[in-house]
Structure 1
Amino acid sequence: MSDLATTVTVIDACGRAAVPVLLLSDPGMGKSSLVRGIATAEGVPCETVLGSIREPADVAGLPLVTDDGVILSPPAFARRLSAEGAGYLFLDELTTCPPAVQAAMLALALDRTVGDLTLPVGVRVVAGANPPDRAADGWEISPPLANRFCHVEFRPSVDEWLDGMTVGWAAPPASRAITADPTRIEAVKAMVTGFIRHKPEHLHAFPRTAEATGKPWPSRRTWAMLAGALANVRDDDAAARQGITFGLVGEGVGVEFLTWCEQADLPDPAAVVEDPALVDWTDRPDRVWAVLSSVVGWAASAGTVEAWRKAWGPLLAAAEAGAPDVSAAAARPLAACRPASARVPAAVRERFAPVLAAAGLSTAGAA
């Protein structure tokens, strides 16, 4: 359970990365009031959809025959949000939705697709749910739907409730989320990929019990969502980092990941490119991989010939320091993102000839 300010931060950070959030609590905790309050504070609309009173076509779109063929006409709430260009879509009482409606929500939750309409990037998806045994005619959340949300336990403290009663629910705490720049986004991706290289068994771990399938668990999708959302919180914001991590990949794996991140202490990829000697290339292979992965991501994000050529420096340094396998693994994606006019440095051609040949760069001129 997080404090209210952390919950608002998690919702904001996830929203910036297009990651939907699921607020879980007993009935009457104020989930819908919080979401409406955030929307009011931001000056954007909030549309609430009760899946328990909807048919699948109300969510997935109603088939209509037109002169151009059959289309899936989006419902009114989707058209209103699309017209505004921003806002919150609140899927309330998710555990009262029958399986057919939950299935219709799969594309809506993560891709913000309603019928033939894709909602604007400014629309954020938040859901609310009670435990199935405390919901009216409760249903367990299906594994595919559960795996599309960041799960957040929501139980405001007495003081937070008193503050809401005093100042009004339309004045939620300020978010601590940040706007990630491309370098930070790539650095966080490197943390995630470095951990998975260290613990590949955690890439996908479908729960062993039926109850756990409706909760957060690690999959290829949730790791990608985690990388996007974590980039939008500060490294020193332990509460928000924990809330996002536990909410997407579960507590057990989440503890391992956060511990690994703390121990890895990865440097800025731009600094590594300028001076590869900053890194001990004889360090653990998983840490070396994470550093090189962040360098590759930095070069891919920059998209320039200069950045691409300079990014080979750390890979060469790692290979010469005794980590040729790790550097070769990082060379594959770097070779694949070569700008059209970039020429492969001569030293790179000599060291990574097989990798370059596999990427179709063996005939590219050296410089």
Structure 2
Amino acid sequence: MAGASPAEMSALEALDDLADEIRGMGNEPVPHRAARADGITSGHGCGHNLFGAGSVGAAIAIKRAMADQDIAGEVRLFGTPAEETVVGKVYMANAGAFDGVDATLVWHPMTETRVTNASTQAMNNFTVEFRGQAAHSAADPWNGRSALDAVEMMNYGANLMREHVQPSTRIHYVIPNAGEAPNVVPEYAKVWYYVRDTLRTNVEEHYAWLLDIADAAAQATRTEHEVSLITGVHALLLNRPLQEAMQANLEAVGGPNFPDVFQAWGREMQTGLDIDPVGLDVEVQPLALGATPAQGGSTDVAEVSWITPTVQLEITSAPKGVPWHSWATSASHGTEWAAAAADVAARVLAMTGMDLLTDPGLLEAAREAHRESTQGRPWRSPIPADQKPPIP
């Protein structure tokens, strides 16, 4: 949006969490660091701008095949915003959007082409806001109560806590608001936390511990505090029958057919990042006999996987080895060539969808695997059922 006013730019940036862009990751579609010409600092460092094309293409293909072959059934296409902050599908699930769905097919851009064979981490995403009393930092600091002190005390407590949690636990934070000027005791400060673990029960335990730390920090600094649980997710459930069906279709379709110019582009980027200049990996990875170790990230797809049998596809969209959630992946996903990943995804998703519509045995096997994974436990949302989604 060239020539946009500061207010317009601010409004665009405020929508990043819904549009799934990542702040600070914007880049021109070139193989080196270069700010976007339109002035927007955000970018699709996770490739979410490719989601819609692949998913819509698959839905259209399935619907046409159903009509051509007179196949009964229903295909639903879900648009799910704010995946980057692990929000959208959580609130959709609370609203019953996925109730009655027999199976769900998902895809995601990546640096390799494969069927997802690793779980993810359960997670709570929350903020703590502290409110104190402003005062002159030099003239009368005794009249102040620093909200920033409270944030710092909470973070210190959390960092001491790290020594006493399992190696699978991850705790990270940023401070979106830490005061306005050094000569004013900050009356307001805010810290934003993610706490993760491979087990949902551990997340809940550590979340409660962090809330105790926040309360102690408020008491110690004579401030008030408010906790907002933005979202929470489980670990992703894998479904072996669906994985095997999708793997067969992925091998039939093959990896994305990127032109030589994109491969050269990728090698130039890798050279600049001091990474082995091998370009983009388009080989289809084999499906291991068993699940591989859990990945470090979290996803709101996990909530869908607890409600209905779910399988996810990953398609190469950026050069091998480049850091994810970075300017490099934003640049890659801004090229015209990255659309080839969405094309492969559409084909594989459509073929797997047709398998489910025409092979009752596959669907029943998927349902049985889902029952085994959940051990018959009904899905319970990590957030209150009546909580409204956080709209910027």
Q: TM-score, normalised by structure 2?
A: 0.24
Q: Normalized per residue, which structure has more helix?
A: 1
Q: TM-score, normalised by structure 1?
A: 0.26
Structure with the greater relative contact order (CA < 8 A, sep ≥ 6): 1 or 2?
2
